Structure 1
Amino acid sequence: MEQAAERFGQGSYSLKLLGGFDQNVFEYNGEDGRRFIMKFLDASKYRKASIIRELTWMAYLAEQGLNMAVSIRSTQDLLIEEVTHDSKRYHVIAFTKAPGSPLTDVTSDFAIIKQWGRGMGRMHKLGKKDATASSLVDRMAFPQWNDHVIFADAFPEAAGESVHTQWKQYLQELESLPQDEKGYGIVHNDLHHHNFHVHNGEIIFFDFGDVSYHWFAYDIAIAIYHAVQTVPENRKAEFVARFFDSFLSGYLQENTLSEEWIQRIPLFIDFRNIYSYVYFAKFVNWNEMDERTRKYLLAMKADIEAGKSVVKLSI
């Protein structure tokens, strides 16, 4: 932390842990009073080339008019610094902290939800192979949807055989889907309501570390899936119908998505659910979980095993 803070011009004493899945995201104040975000990425897990693609794509989206968190350079004029400690190597990147705050009321601020959908639609339009800047899109060698280690490595035993059976069924169905420019391209892959801020009625997007080629309908499903988790069970159906209507009306202002793909969104919502469970089962130490998290994951597992959909979405 000391090394990285010096590289980006601030003593580590000012770094405050914000979190992140790997507890690797920090905030610090610059000498001019501005606030910045610093991320430490384990070099054994994150290749420098993938970080370069992430920063390049964010810069391109900003050029195309999307409000984005801005990368900052180190005192050596580098966007990516490398630090070593106890023989472990880390890539370090930093951004200006997006002004504003997270969307605090997902259940009622439908004007922002529409803007959220419009922003995603714009990203998807720019992420198509036939986009205006297709030469850039063609050069962006992002991973395909199933290139993640969660698909390549052994299935986690902790998830259980019943979940494994359903997991294989989902993968088989997804592998059969077309991957043409009408429904497949570069997506954010994690654009839930904690990955943007709202400032003066405008959305500022950030955290593009999971960008990949995927189905556009899946990116929409991610937004719906995480938003619906904030709502009590007895209100989910009503909420998701209104959320979907607002989000999609914004989305379709920027990108065309056929009815055939829209009809698949419920499939992708349920896939996101099993993906999230398998991810936790694979990468989180169950013995170190608090009781609340453990109970939540056991309930997820029970719903998956019972074939229960996350939410009833009538399209």
Structure 2
Amino acid sequence: MDPQIKLLFLDEHAIEGAARFGVRQEELSFIGGFQNFIYSYTREGCKYILRFTPSTLRTQEGLEAELEWIRYLAENGMSVSEPIPSAQGRDVECVSGKMVDFYATSFRHAPGRKIGYPECLGNPLLYEQCGRMTSHLHKLTKRYEPLARRHSWERNEYLLRARKYIPPEHAPILRALDELKERLASLPITPDNFGLIHGDINVGNFTVDETGEITLFDFDECQYSWYAEDIAIQLYYLLYVFGEDSKSERKVQYEHFIEHFERGYTEDGRRLPEGWKDQLSLFLRLREIIVFVGMYRSWDLRQPDDWTRDFLQDSRMRIINGLSLIDDFQ
């Protein structure tokens, strides 16, 4: 969370936004959030999410496009955390602030449980299910004809604001970002390899029920990009925990994920996006820069712990040298 935005979000905003959805202040439980302010509440035995998005991050039109897509996915058989309209029947309620407005949206709480670390590592059943889920998502988005449209990859907030959050001593990171964006802009775009993607699939953004079914949520980063990016993001968060001194373990994890994810994705005769394996390295590099920017935006890194210090050092080395987490394995 941008510290300046955090200071501008007041209890009165949460109270007013909750009231728009028929929720009392005492029913709210603050969960947290990396870009948004997230609360939970219970109604008639069912759990829901209430999200507040600063107007500096998203437009109302962009949020409406997000919710429109989620509803389309749900109506076509995908397990997602569906949006809930306000008491006035609106998907998005605007709560006015003095300097920044906050958009309130609500969703059904995803059933099941999250699978965190280390359970998500070396987990073939999970990777196959992730492959099935991602394949279903991409199949549906190829048929999707939206009324409202989300932004495309180059308008990603992390990329647009990298210069604001990255300290001057990391100027080589910004140069690497510019070079990578030029490379990505030259990739071919076809209906089979480019479309609306979730943009942040990782173990923190889905739950798994007792049958193994995945429910996907947090579509806040959805954007138009190459489908390979949706795959690379999942891979990144399974590999970044292995430092430069653990490359052998990273290689095993990479091969494990690719084998089982591909099996799940292609299970019903669906084909992976053309050129996806060749593009993985590029999108892993992009995700690494986004994570680097996000850490400097949201964390106090003046005295990092040992793991964070080592990660930032390794990450900076890879970024400025144009390397990805898998370059030694392909």
TM-score of the pair, normalised by structure 1: 0.87
The 5-angstrom pairing of residues 218-229 of structure 1 reads 218-229=229-240
CA distance in 2, matches of 1:58, 1:212: 13
Deviation of 1:286 (Å): 4.4
Equivalent of residue 179 in structure 2, options 163, 169, 180:
169
The 5-angstrom pairing of residues 40-51 of structure 1 reads 40-51=52-63
Query: Aligned residue for 1:186?
Result: 196
2:285/2:322 contact within 8 Å kept: no
Deviation of 1:310 (Å): 1.6
Deviation of 1:289 (Å): 7.3
Query: Aligned residue for 1:71?
Result: 83
SS at match of 2:114: coil
2:57/2:157 contact within 8 Å kept: no
Deviation of 1:114 (Å): 0.9
SS at match of 1:56: helix
Equivalent of residue 40 in structure 2, options 16, 27, 52:
27
- Whether 1:143 aligns to 2:151 is yes
The 5-angstrom pairing of residues 25-174 of structure 1 reads 25-30=38-43, 32-86=44-98, 88-104=100-116, 105-128=119-142, 131=143, 133=144, 136-137=145-146, 139-152=147-160, 155-156=163-164, 158=167, 160-174=170-184
CA distance in 1, matches of 2:323, 2:275: 23
Deviation of 1:285 (Å): 6.2
Give the AA of the match of 1:21: F
Deviation of 1:312 (Å): 4.6
2:162/2:293 contact within 8 Å kept: no
More displaced stretch, 54-63 vs 104-113: 104-113
1:237/1:312 contact within 8 Å kept: no
Q: Which runs of 5+ in 1 are unaligned?
A: none
More displaced stretch, 229-238 vs 45-54: 229-238
More displaced stretch, 189-198 vs 272-281: 272-281
- Whether 1:242 aligns to 2:237 is no
Equivalent residue pairs, number: 307
Deviation of 1:174 (Å): 0.6
**CA offsets, 1:269-315, max 9 Å, x none?**
1221123213444x336467754686243442233234443235745
1:286/1:294 contact within 8 Å kept: no
1:17/1:23 contact within 8 Å kept: no
Deviation of 1:64 (Å): 1.2
Q: Which runs of 5+ in 2 are unaligned?
A: 1-13
More displaced stretch, 146-155 vs 75-84: 146-155
Q: Percent identity?
A: 25
Query: Aligned residue for 1:215?
Result: 226
SS at match of 1:65: coil
Give the AA of the match of 1:68: V
TM-score of the pair, normalised by structure 2: 0.83
More displaced stretch, 76-85 vs 95-104: 76-85
More displaced stretch, 118-127 vs 249-258: 249-258
CA distance in 1, matches of 2:194, 2:274: 14
2:238/2:253 contact within 8 Å kept: no
CA distance in 2, matches of 1:119, 1:6: 35
SS at match of 1:269: helix
Equivalent of residue 300 in structure 1, options 282, 291, 315:
315
CA distance in 2, matches of 1:247, 1:279: 27
Change (3 A) 1:257 1:287: closer
SS at match of 2:275: helix
CA distance in 2, matches of 1:154, 1:106: 30
Deviation of 1:216 (Å): 0.8
CA distance in 2, matches of 1:185, 1:23: 25
